[in-house]
Amino acid sequence: MILLSNLKMNIISSGSKGNSTIIWDDEDAIVIDFGISAKRFNERVQEIDAHFGNLSIIVTHEHGDHASGLPVASRRIRGDIYLREKTRNAMKFDRSYSMGDDLCIGNFYIKAIPVSHDAVDPVGYIIENRGRKIASFSDLGFFPMEYADEIIGSDILAIEANHDSEMLRTGPYSEQLKRRISSNYGHMSNEQAALAIEQLSDKDTSIVLIHLSDENNTPEIAYNHVRDHLVNRDIKFRRIECARQVYGSSVFEV
């Protein structure tokens, strides 16, 4: 019998002020996005007592809340950085490797999934590790359901629930910004997240709602909207929680 090493995930920070997620087994760590300081990253790694060997950073797109910490991280944190070629060019960040549609690092197989957002080459990620699967999709105007078959059965599904549509409509943002957020190149609403999860979740899926807006959403509204949608339709799932800007998420283990 093969004993699998622990596979864990923690969302360090999620929201418009900075995003970063770490996934690790006993040998390697994969970090999705680095829109936070290297100091904060190192503090969180110590807080959650994460132990691993090699570290690699992959990035979803070039916006500051997902990539602003890379220059300092490249100097202070030992690890390889992988960017999509267009993202690498847009950022003019030479201290990185170019990443194609997939990547193997240790026991991790990483697949980049194109999404619709106002960036040069935005992606979400499906990350597999010896039969276990984590899917992470943030900053997208609508969900790429053509990849549903590859995502269904994820042990963890991290998916954007950026805004409550009514809060956005009646909120203080300019009309131009409201149109950008609600467009196909903006951010997914609670309703869009719920509809996508309905097609993707099963009884073993832990759901994390990410990139919640501070102005146009609340964790309670997002959680209740998605949970009620799934429960009313008898959609199975293991658990749901909302990742926060400051406190991040729980540590998940699969």
pLDDT on residue 69? 97
pLDDT band at 1, cuts 50/70/90? very low
144-174 tens-digit pLDDT: 999 999 999 999 999 999 999 999 999 999 9
Give the domain ranges of the chain.
8-245
Question: Among 238, 243, 201, which residue's Cα sits nearest to residue 219?
Answer: 243
Residue 111 in tokens: 């697949």
Work out the end-to-end distance of the chain between its first and last CA atoms, rounded to an integer number of angstroms.
Answer: 18
Q: Which CATH superfamily is domain 8-245 in?
A: Ribonuclease Z/Hydroxyacylglutathione hydrolase-like (3.60.15.10)
Which letter does DSSP use for residue 4 in this model?
Answer: P
**What's at 234, amino acid-wise?**
D
Query: Residues with Cβ < 8 Å from 59, sequence gap 6 or more?
Result: 32, 33, 34, 66, 67, 70, 81, 82, 83, 84, 87
Strands 102-105 vs 80-84: parallel, antiparallel or unpaired: unpaired
Question: Among 146, 126, 143, 147, which residue's Cα sits nearest to residue 135?
Answer: 126
Prediction pTM value: 0.96
Question: Among 3, 57, 48, 71, which residue's Cα sits nearest to residue 28?
Answer: 57
Residue 252's H or E segment, with its range, is strand 251-253
pLDDT on residue 236? 97
What integer is the mean pLDDT of 225-246? 98
53-75 tens-digit pLDDT: 999 999 999 999 999 999 999 99
23-33 tens-digit pLDDT: 999 999 999 99
